[in-house]
Amino acid sequence: MSNSNMYLEMARAVADDSDRVAIETEDGASLTYGELDREVARTANALLEAGLQPGDRVAAQIHKSVGSLFVYLACLRVGMVYLPLNTAYQTSELDYFLRDAEPGLILVEPEKLDAINAVSSASIGATVMTLAGGTDSDFAKRAAQASAQFDTRLCGASDLAVIIYTSGTTGRSKGAMVTHGNLVSNSQALKQVWQFTRDDVLLHTLPIFHVHGLFVATHCALTSGARILWNNRFNAQSVVRQLENATVFMGVPTYYTRLLGESGLSRESCRQMRLFISGSAPLLAETHSQFEQRTGHRILERYGMSEAGMITSNPYEGERRAGTVGFPLPGVEVRVVDEVDQSLPVGDKGAIQIKGENVFSGYWRMPERTKQEFTADGWFRTGDIGVFDSDGYLSIVGRAKDLIITGGYNVYPKEIELALDELPQVIESAVIGLPHADFGEAVTGVVVLRPGAETDEASIIGTLKSRLAGYKVPKRVYFVDALPRNAMGKVQKNLLREHFG
């Protein structure tokens, strides 16, 4: 892949038919591929006019919109590095990401403009703008006035395209460096195994600040010349109404449990659909079977992560096994190993390691950490525990790093424990994930209070809501006299899960 610009991969798909509809929005507006190309060109020109160069970072903490998609595609096209940030992050959480990545431009919602300007002025001196408002700080207004002609920059496979921050189980968050080559190889593999064509219509309701919505959904559609029904947010009622006009839907398990709560979900409403895909968290076998009974469709589960895009998938044709994530994608190798990185026999549980053109190039400005996460022979340590069955299906059975996945979002207990331990009434805490019908897992705090401290569950949750993104805030907080520990002094979270689960 000598020239691997991900944007060119999309442009090639419709080079012969730029009048095809690329995107339809909820309000009935539509954009052809030719119009999309021109909007992305304007945005690319506006980035350069703002003083940025190829290789510079563009941070975006903006709500999902077609305009936010233009920014991402323009970064690819001009060879800049896109930095998507969860819209739920508080200003205090953003400070670390911005200091670490040192973006040249930060895009935020209008109400955050002053706060992020203050953060930027104090640390990195980046330009801060919005995508709305009509003021001098409105980047979309600048882009609308820019030229609609742009020559896409040729990129090498190793050129950086995106930095995605993954919360660390301990210490600092890590910026996974994703290259154009990673994106191109993964989109080609997914298009092949999921049989995407330009006849497809993707119902897109995922957020676009992580891999699932930004890479998997968007790339599959745009590199196939397919049409996207673009929804700025997920609404179960609206999704059921739109299924009759779509062929593919991608969601997290929470979406599927909510769809099952809609009386309109039926075989009839899904008659045009060819594929439902679930990822970002384990899908309960019960949800899998209920969905099949209601719709006649077996949900296809797959496995991926920020550092590698998609890794495995259940087959498009063939048995989709509930509770498994299927087989390695074309060009991806997966092995299950023991503590000395030796492959284990089929049926034995061990650490999942991966290799392939989809695997990221390392962690931003963390060479030592990058070195630790790769084996001597070049395999990436995912941190997940898995097992292959005799038919070659992979199952994820645990998480080595105690990760909680709630509603498709990753939550690392250490970050929440640090926030709890900072409260004056708290001596120490442990954070665990407990089964939850809607979110898959619910973040749950277990707290030891100081003698005589006066507080309650609602007060602690209320305080954390002002300090953490909403999905990280514990759904419940329990109080105990002491945390259970083993002989080494390590908190036995398995006992807490048993007791409170």
Return the CATH number at 464. 3.30.300.30
Same domain, 412 and 389: no
Mean pLDDT is highest, among 112-116, 231-235, 413-417, for 231-235
Same domain, 444 and 359: no
Q: How confident is the model at residue 501 (pLDDT cuts 50, 70, 90)?
A: confident
Same domain, 421 and 473: yes
Return the CATH number at 341. 2.30.38.10
243 assigned to some structural domain: no
Return the CATH number at 105. 3.40.50.12780
Residue 238: which of 204, 208, 272 has the closest Cα? 204
Same domain, 117 and 159: yes
Same domain, 381 and 417: no
Residue 401, pLDDT > 70, answer no
133 assigned to some structural domain: yes
Residue 486, pLDDT > 80, answer no
Other beta carbons within 10 Å of 154: 12
Same domain, 55 and 122: yes
Q: Could you read off the pLDDT of 178-207 as tens digits, one per residue? A: 999 999 999 999 999 999 999 999 999 999
**Which tokens in the block code for residue 405?**
């996945």
For 357-396, give the DSSP string.
Answer: TTS---BTT-HHHHHHHB-TTS-EEEEEEEEE-TTS-EEE
Residue 19, pLDDT > 80, answer yes
267 assigned to some structural domain: no
Q: Could you read off the pLDDT of 420-464 as tens digits, one per residue? A: 989 999 988 999 999 999 999 999 999 999 999 999 999 999 999
Tally of domains in the chain: 3
Residue 444: which of 461, 465, 469, 462 has the closest Cα? 461
Same domain, 439 and 369: no
Same domain, 364 and 428: no
- Predicted TM-score (pTM) of this structure: 0.86
- Domain stop point among 394, 413, 434: 394
Same domain, 147 and 49: yes
- Domain stop point among 193, 223, 251: 193
**Which tokens in the block code for residue 267?**
């075989």
Same domain, 36 and 78: yes
Same domain, 496 and 420: yes
Same domain, 25 and 108: yes
Name the average pLDDT for the chain: 94
What pLDDT does residue 397 have? 81
The whole domain housing 24 covers 6-193
Distance CA(453)–CA(106), nearest Å, equals 42
